[in-house]
Amino acid sequence: MKIRANLAIGGGLTVLAVFVGLFGPWLAHTDPIMDANLMNAELPPSGDFWFGTDQQGRDIWSRVMYGAQISLAVGIGSQLLNTVIGTTLGVTAGYWGGWWDDFVNGLTNLMLAIPSLIFALAIMAILGPGLTSLLIALGLTNWSYTCRISRAQALSIKSQGYVQAARVLGYGDLRIMFTQILPNTLGPIIVIATLGMGGSILAEAALSFLGLGVRPPSPSWGSMLSDARETITTAPWLSLFPGLAIFLTVLGLNLLGDGLRDILDPQSRSRR
C-alpha cells in the first residue's frame, strides 16, 4: 500500500516535471528573458500573470516553466556523468582487483571525505558560472556511492558459476563486465541515480542562488530566488513559486527513488 503511494506520487510529480521541462516553451505565455516591461513590474498573481511578475515585469509563470529545462538538464546530465564514472570505476575495481582496486578505493574515500556542495562550489569558483561548469561540478563529485555499490556487486558476482562459465567459454573481460556483471548491478544504481538527481537539482539551485551557478538572466529557479530575496517585503510571491517548483521536483524524485528501492533493491536494508 505504502510502496504504491511512494511510486504513484513520486512518479506523477516526476512525469509532471519532465513534461514541463520538455514543453515549457509551449506552456509559457511570454519569453522568459526578453519580455520585460517595467509597466508591469511586481504585479501580484492574477488572470493575466498566473504567478505574478518580477521587478522587471517579466511573467513568473513563464520563467518557472522555462526554468524546468535548466534544473532537469543539470539533474539528468550530472547524474549520467556520475553513474558512468561510478559504475566504470566500481565494476572494473571489483572485477580486476589488485592495485587498481586499491587506487579506486582510495579515490572513493577521498571523494567521500569532502562535503559535496563544498567540492562543487570550489569547481564552480574555478570554472566560473554557466551550465557546462555546473554539469562538470556536479557530475564529477557524486559518484562515490555508485562506485561502492557496483564494486561490491562485481566482487560478489565475479566468483559465481555463470561468470566462471563465461570465462571458460572465452568471453573477454569487457564482455563479461557488460553482459554478466552490469545487468546485475543496475537496480541499486538506478535507485542511487534517481535520488542523486534530486540532490543535483538542489545543489544547482543552491549554487545559482549564491550567484555561482547559471548566469542571470537565464531563468534558473535558484537564481530567481536570489533576485526575489530583495523584494521579499514588496513582492513575496516572487519567492514562493520558484521554490515550490524546486521542492515539488525534488520531492517527486525522492519519493520515486524510495519507491524504486523497495522494488529494485530489496536487500538495501540489510546493507545499510
Task: Name the one range near another protein by CB under 8 A: 14-22, 82-90, 162-170, 199-207.
Answer: 199-207
Distance CA 81, CA 270 (A): 28
113, 159, 168, 271: residue in contact with another protein (rule CB under 8 A): 113
Cβ atoms of residues 9 and 265 within 8 Å: no
**Minimal distance, residue 202 CB to another protein, in Å:** 6
**Minimal distance, residue 198 CB to another protein, in Å:** 7
Distance CA 268, CA 29 (A): 45
Q: Is 55 in the site for another protein (CB under 8 A)?
A: no
229 by Cβ neighbours in 10 Å (0-12 / 13-18 / 19+) ranks as: exposed
8, 15, 84, 122: residue in contact with another protein (rule CB under 8 A): 122
Count CB atoms within 10 A of the CB of residue 122.
13
Which single residue is written with the C-alpha cell 538572466? 217
**Minimal distance, residue 250 CB to another protein, in Å:** 4
212, 214, 235, 260: residue in contact with another protein (rule CB under 8 A): 212
Q: Which is nearer to another protein, 159 or 233 (CB)?
A: 233
Q: Is 250 in the site for another protein (CB under 8 A)?
A: yes
Cβ atoms of residues 151 and 90 within 8 Å: yes
**Minimal distance, residue 112 CB to another protein, in Å:** 9
Render 26-51 in DSSP notation, one character per residue.
HH-SS-TTT---GGGTTPPS-SSSTT
Q: Is 256 in the site for another protein (CB under 8 A)?
A: no
What's the grid cell of residue 82? 556520475
Q: Is 206 in the site for another protein (CB under 8 A)?
A: yes
109, 160, 164, 179: residue in contact with another protein (rule CB under 8 A): 109
Angle at 120 between CA 67 and CA 132, to 5 degrees: 50
What's the grid cell of residue 243? 521554490
74, 228, 235, 260: residue in contact with another protein (rule CB under 8 A): 228
Q: Is 114 in the site for another protein (CB under 8 A)?
A: yes
Q: What is the CA radius of gyration of the chain?
A: 22
Q: Which is nearer to another protein, 91 or 259 (CB)?
A: 259
In sign, the C-alpha dihedral spanning 29, 22, 120, 145 is: positive
Q: Where along the sequence are the contacts to another protein (CB under 8 A)?
A: 1-2, 5, 106, 109-110, 113-115, 117-118, 121-123, 125-126, 128, 198, 202, 205-206, 209-212, 222, 225, 228-229, 232-233, 236, 239, 242-243, 246-247, 250-251, 254-255, 258, 269, 272
